[in-house]
C-alpha cells in the first residue's frame, strides 16, 4: 500500500516549527520576519492568493505588509514601490504577485527586487545560484516538492528522476533541485518521444504538465515515488492532478493526492524562504 503524503499535515508541521521560532524571537524582544506582498489590479485569483498569504502570515505571527496598487499603475510606479520595499530595513521578503496586468513588464519588475529579499526565487541572480548549486532562494512550489520527497523518506541521491514539464516556475527548477540533490534527472516536455518508456525508468516521477490524469499506471515503475504538482479543474468543478491517483497508487511506494498534496506546500515554502531571508539579513546586519 502506497504512503499517501498529506500536504496539509506536512504544512502544519513545518508552520508549527516556524511559529515556535517566531514566538521565541518575540519573547526575546527581537524584530520578527516581515513579508511584503505587492499586488497590482483586481485579478480575482491573485486577490485570493494574496489573502491566503496574509492569512498564513497572521497564523504564524509573521509580519505582513500588503501593497495593493491600482490596475492602471505604471511600470515606474510599480518599480518605485519595489525599490521602497528593498530599502525598508523592516522588510525581509518581497513577493510581486503574478501575473501583472497587461502592459506591465514582469521581468523588469522582478529584476528590481533585491535578490536577498526575493523569496519567490525568480530573480535571475537566484535562478543562477540554483544552477550553480550555490543556494540562494529557490521557487516555492519546487521547494515544496523536495519537502514532500523528504516526508516520503526518499533521498534523491543516486536515484533516476524524471520530471514531466519544463516550465520556468515548476519543471525546470524542480529538475535542478533534484540534480543538486544528486539524482540523475531527465526533463520531459511536449516534444519528448517515448514519454511512457522514459517515465517507466523513474524511481522518482514528478508530474507538472497541467493535464488531468495524464500519468496513468502504465507510466509507472513498480515502487516509484510519485509527486503530482498538477492542479486541473474538471467540468464538474472538482480538482484533480496530472496523475491518475486511483490507478497509480497501487504501483508506487509513495504518492501525493490532489487536492491536498503539493498545493498547500507553496505558501508554506514562501514563509520558510521569508524566515531564511530574515535570518540571513540579521546575520549580515546584526540583530535589532
Could you list the active site residues? 53, 97, 120
Buried b / exposed e along 186-195 (16+ C-beta atoms within 10 A): bbbeeeeeeb
The reply to whether 46 sits near ligand NAP by the rule CB under 6 A is no
Q: How far apart are CA 233 and CA 211, in angstroms?
A: 10
How many CB atoms within 10 Å of residue 173? Answer: 26
The reply to whether 98 sits near ligand NAP by the rule CB under 6 A is no
Q: Tell me the closest approach of the beta carbon of residue 264 to ligand NAP, in angstroms.
A: 8
The reply to whether 208 sits near ligand NAP by the rule CB under 6 A is yes
Phi, then psi, of 71 in degrees rounded to 5: -55, -40
Question: Of 215 and 254, which CB lies nearer to ligand NAP in the complex structure?
Answer: 215
Residue 145: CA count within 13 A, CB half-sphere: 29
The reply to whether 183 sits near ligand NAP by the rule CB under 6 A is no
The reply to whether 7 sits near ligand NAP by the rule CB under 6 A is no
Bridge-partner residues for 232, per DSSP? 240
Percent helix, strand and coil across the chain, each to the nearest 5: 45, 15, 40
Q: Are 172 and 187 in contact (CB under 8 A)?
A: yes
In the DSSP assignment, the letter for residue 213 is T
Q: Which of residues 253-272 bind ligand NAP (CB under 6 A)?
A: 262-263, 266
Interface pick for ligand NAP out of 42, 190, 197, 287 (rule CB under 6 A): 190
The reply to whether 66 sits near ligand NAP by the rule CB under 6 A is no
The reply to whether 141 sits near ligand NAP by the rule CB under 6 A is yes
Q: Comparing C-alpha atoms, which of 126, 109, 99 is closest to residue 44?
A: 99
Residues 6+ apart with CB under 8 A from 154: 204, 225, 253, 254
User: Residues binding ligand NAP: what is the number (CB under 6 A)?
Assistant: 25
> Which residue carries 504544512 as its cell?
11
Question: Of 69 and 231, which CB lies nearer to ligand NAP in the complex structure?
Answer: 231
Is the bond into 111 cis (omega within 30 degrees of 0)? no
The reply to whether 169 sits near ligand NAP by the rule CB under 6 A is yes
Q: Tell me the closest approach of the beta carbon of residue 278 to ligand NAP, in angstroms.
A: 23
The reply to whether 195 sits near ligand NAP by the rule CB under 6 A is yes
The reply to whether 209 sits near ligand NAP by the rule CB under 6 A is yes
The reply to whether 167 sits near ligand NAP by the rule CB under 6 A is yes
Question: Of 193 and 284, which CB lies nearer to ligand NAP in the complex structure?
Answer: 193
Question: Of 217 and 282, which CB lies nearer to ligand NAP in the complex structure?
Answer: 217
Question: Of 33 and 261, which CB lies nearer to ligand NAP in the complex structure?
Answer: 261
Phi, then psi, of 139 in degrees rounded to 5: -60, 155
What is the number of the residue whose Cβ is closest to ligand NAP? Answer: 167
Interface pick for ligand NAP out of 66, 111, 231, 239 (rule CB under 6 A): 231
Interface pick for ligand NAP out of 65, 189, 200, 276 (rule CB under 6 A): 189
Residue 178 grid coordinates: 533534484
Q: Are 250 and 226 in contact (CB under 8 A)?
A: no
Residues within the interface to ligand NAP (CB under 6 A): 141, 164-167, 169-171, 188-192, 195, 208-211, 229-232, 262-263, 266
Amino acid at each position: 500500500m502506497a504512503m499517501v503524503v498529506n500536504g496539509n499535515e506536512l504544512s502544519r508541521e513545518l508552520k508549527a516549527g516556524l511559529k515556535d521560532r517566531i514566538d521565541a524571537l518575540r519573547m526575546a524582544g527581537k524584530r520578527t520576519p516581515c513579508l511584503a506582498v505587492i499586488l497590482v489590479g483586481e485579478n480575482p485569483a491573485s486577490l485570493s492568493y494574496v489573502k491566503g498569504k496574509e492569512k498564513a502570515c497572521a497564523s504564524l505571527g509573521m509580519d505582513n505588509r500588503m501593497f495593493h496598487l491600482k490596475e492602471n499603475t505604471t511600470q515606474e510606479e510599480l518599480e518605485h514601490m519595489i525599490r521602497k520595499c528593498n530599502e525598508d530595513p523592516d522588510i525581509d521578503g518581497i513577493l510581486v504577485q503574478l501575473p501583472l496586468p497587461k502592459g506591465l513588464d514582469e521581468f523588469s519588475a522582478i529584476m528590481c527586487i533585491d535578490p536577498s529579499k526575493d523569496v519567490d526565487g525568480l530573480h535571475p541572480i537566484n535562478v543562477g545560484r540554483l544552477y550553480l548549486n550555490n543556494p540562494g532562494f529557490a521557487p516555492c512550489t519546487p521547494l515544496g516538492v523536495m519537502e514532500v520527497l523528504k516526508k516520503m523518506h526518499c533521498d534523491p541521491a543516486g536515484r533516476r528522476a524524471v520530471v514531466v514539464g519544463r516550465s520556468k516556475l515548476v519543471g525546470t527548477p524542480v529538475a535542478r533541485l533534484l540534480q543538486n540533490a544528486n539524482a540523475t534527472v531527465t526533463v520531459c516536455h511536449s516534444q519528448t518521444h517515448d514519454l511512457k518508456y522514459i517515465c517507466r525508468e523513474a524511481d522518482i516521477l514528478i508530474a507538472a504538465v497541467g493535464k488531468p490524469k495524464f500519468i496513468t499506471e502504465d507510466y509507472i515503475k513498480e515502487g516509484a515515488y510519485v509527486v503530482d504538482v498538477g492542479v486541473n479543474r474538471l467540468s464538474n468543478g472538482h480538482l484533480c492532478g496530472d496523475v491518475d491517483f486511483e490507478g497509480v497508487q497501487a504501483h508506487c511506494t509513495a504518492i501525493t493526492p490532489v487536492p491536498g498534496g503539493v498545493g498547500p506546500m507553496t505558501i508554506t515554502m514562501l514563509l520558510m524562504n521569508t524566515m531564511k531571508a530574515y535570518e540571513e539579513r540579521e546575520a549580515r546586519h546584526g540583530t535589532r
